Amino acid sequence: MKFRVERDALAEAVAWTAKSLPSRPSVPVLAGVMLRVTDGNLRVSGFDYEVSSQVTVEVQGDADGAALVSGRLLAEITKALPAKPVDIAAVGAHLELVCGSARFTLPTMPVEDYPALPEMPQSAGTVDAAAFATAVSQVAIAAGRDETLPMMTGVRVELSGSTLSMLATDRYRLALREIQWRPDDPEVSINALVPARTLNDTAKALGPLGGEVTLALAQGAAGEGMVGLAGGTRRTTSRLLDGANYPPVRSLFPATHNAEARVPVSTLIEVVKRVALVAERTTPVLLSFSADGLVVEAGGSEEARASEAMEAAFTGDALTIGFNPQYLIDGLANLGSQTAVLSFVDAFKPAVISPAGEDGEAIPGYRYLIMPIRVSR
């Protein structure tokens, strides 16, 4: 194998592929990225039996072939190379990389020991790449991080006609985003539970490329289903999580509310961050709403305390409610609007945060539900 490639194209391809490689692989070859040159195209791929990543780059190919090298090491090297064309050749049990006056010799691993990448599942439809990336980021923040509860670490993707819905929850908050997409089958009705981290990383990488993302799904028995995402020259597949017993979380959204506040997003985020400086890790911030506006407080009677008042348009009976400050900031920061609408039933029921339009009304499509923390005053 021998070829020449532009440095930026190589660095981006290797970084994209190496990002999904396992930090502690079950077998050494899974820490590698496969470089395969065929007919002037370089295919860079990685696979850990759960997630596969693949990207194709045009190169000046002198000799077709394949080589398997450490993905993280190659990513660090290509990122640090000078902005000049890169010449790569497989020589015996090593890979030689030359860029300007920089020269690297890397050991290779046996190509024949590397597992075959899974095929892309059947396409279900396409969605605008930028809109998809934004929607995924809005939902993925609410997914759980606890690997002992794998169901909560996923994003539930619901395909129903031309509506693509995504939900995620860690039991303390819940995010729901609905966008339009173009299904291959107008009557489609599929639900799938996709690992949130993989979905978010992939959508974040595909979004800036523009164009469309192809969403592909293959349903199977528990642990056998697969999702595929493809955009431009990149594609990722991932095993689905078992979502058969995913709770009916949509029912958590209150049908009505008794009080409502409209607050400037950036101001509230800044105030919560300042006030929360005196809060312990598990201490909530208190939001006291009244006709006069909003007061944000934190701290106990004997510890450090902080409070700050800010403007807010509020309708309903005066209300004081406590939230985890980071969960509140996460929801506000991902609204994508300058004004937030906070809807309340009472101080002990979940509150819902929605983006507001220029008219002050909540924009349908995104809702972030946050559980309150009971506080005694």
**Are the CB atoms for 129 and 206 separated by under 8 Å?**
yes
- Over residues 344-377, the pLDDT tens digits come to 999 999 999 999 988 888 889 999 999 999 876 5
CA–CA separation, 108 and 70 (whole Å): 8
Strands 339-344 and 351-356: antiparallel
- Judged by DSSP in three states, 356 sits in strand
Question: Could you tell me which residues come within 8 angstroms of residue 76 by beta carbon, excluding any fewer than 6 positions away?
Answer: none
Q: Is the pLDDT of residue 211 over 70?
A: yes
Residue 173 CA, chain-centre distance (Å), reads: 16
- Judged by DSSP in three states, 141 sits in coil
Topology match between the domains 2-109 and 123-250: yes
Q: What percent of the chain has pLDDT over 90?
A: 86
Query: Domain locations in the chain?
Result: 2-109, 123-250, 253-370
**Residue-level pLDDT at 210:** 87
Give the class (CATH, top level) of 123-250.
alpha beta
- Over residues 90-128, the pLDDT tens digits come to 999 999 999 999 999 999 999 999 999 999 999 999 999
**Residue-level pLDDT at 353:** 98
DSSP 8-class letter at 142? T
Give the DSSP per-residue string, 116-140.
PPPPP--EEEEEEHHHHHHHHHHHH
Question: Helix-strand-coil percent breakdown of the chain, rounded to 5?
Answer: 25, 45, 35
- Over residues 71-81, the pLDDT tens digits come to 999 999 999 99
- Local confidence band at 201 (pLDDT 50, 70, 90 cut-offs): very high
**For the whole model, what pTM was predicted?**
0.91
Write down the mean pLDDT value for the chain.
93
- Helix (H) or strand (E) segment spanning residue 323: strand 319-323
Segment 41-48 long-range contacts (CB within 8 Å, at least 24 positions apart): 42/3, 42/5, 42/10, 42/13, 44/13, 44/14, 44/16, 44/17, 45/17, 45/117, 46/17, 46/18, 46/20, 46/21, 46/71, 47/114, 47/115, 47/117, 47/118, 48/20, 48/21, 48/22
- State the average pLDDT over residues 140-160: 94
Q: Is the pLDDT of residue 301 over 90?
A: no
Q: Give domain 2-109's CATH superfamily.
A: DNA Polymerase III, subunit A, domain 2 (3.10.150.10)
- Over residues 223-242, the pLDDT tens digits come to 579 999 999 999 999 999 99
**Residue-level pLDDT at 283:** 87
**Are the CB atoms for 111 and 68 separated by under 8 Å?**
yes
Q: Is the pLDDT of residue 222 over 60?
A: no
- State the average pLDDT over residues 4-22: 93
- State the average pLDDT over residues 206-222: 86
- State the average pLDDT over residues 24-53: 94
Residue 115 CA, chain-centre distance (Å), reads: 26
Is 3.10.150.10 the CATH classification of the domain at 253-370?
yes
